[in-house]
Structure 1
Amino acid sequence: MLRLGRQADGLGVVGHARLLTENARRENDGGRIRKAIMNAQAPNGPGSKALLAAVIGMGVLLAVGSLVLVGVLVHRISHPHSVSSVRVVSPPDGAYGPLVLDEPAGTHITAMARQDDAMLAVSLSGGGPDRIVLWDLAHARVAGRLTLAR
């Protein structure tokens, strides 16, 4: 066993480690050198064990997260998704004849939205306040009008 004696009075942790290292070298025992250095530099206590567990846990999480990320990237590259296309729906069979919206001059269509085969919403602007006309496709008639006041 290494004994420090009166030489160690007033020394800090680093001084104790140096003194222990010198004493262990004198005794020419490599195992004691390692033990002396570890005991002098790393205090054993619940705080240091918790810190060690936290560092190991974070390292494991980092490694697992990296592997998951690489796995997801490889899976997405090897199994590409096709872009969903808009389905094309043909209008129901029938003779429509001329479809006329009776609107003032200067009116133009800004947007159209279709709901299945039943309804068409036509957004109109110009020639008065902006408005939306709901067109019933099955019966070829105007189902309703929404006027947006300015």
Structure 2
Amino acid sequence: MHRNRLLAVALATACFGVWLPGSACADDAPNPCASLKRIVAAAPDGLASLTPDDGKGVAQPYGDDAQCSASHRSFQCTWTPHHDAGSIADALQAVAADVASCLPDATHDQNSPGRQHFYLGEKGRRTDITLTPSGSNKVRLVVTGT
């Protein structure tokens, strides 16, 4: 028992960079919720304040090549899902599950293999979140404010 406790302390210490700087730990995993909440918090009028890196946390659990851009009323990212993600419809469903989980106040009003759509807020201050295929092998996330 004492030996197991020492191992747990050693692993926890390594994750804080004391023994193995730069080592990967479970807490280093991309956090789609933090990214989604940051993006939605900027909407509807402040989406231009976001950087391309703000969207990468949404994509990183599923793909490594996210390309994101922002304008006054729109934020969008596209990425290629990992090979083990299944079809593009599967990838859209996985990201939609993150949106539903991370943003419980969002209304999920379209759930189809080719389009996932959510919205938050009232008319005039509404934020739309749309996931669609982009070409034959990419996922596209678009967040707009109206």
If the length of structure 2 is used for normalisation, what is the TM-score? 0.23
- Give the strand-richer structure, 1 or 2: 2
Higher Cα Rg, which structure: 1
If the length of structure 1 is used for normalisation, what is the TM-score? 0.23
Higher relative contact order (CA 8 A, sep 6+): 2
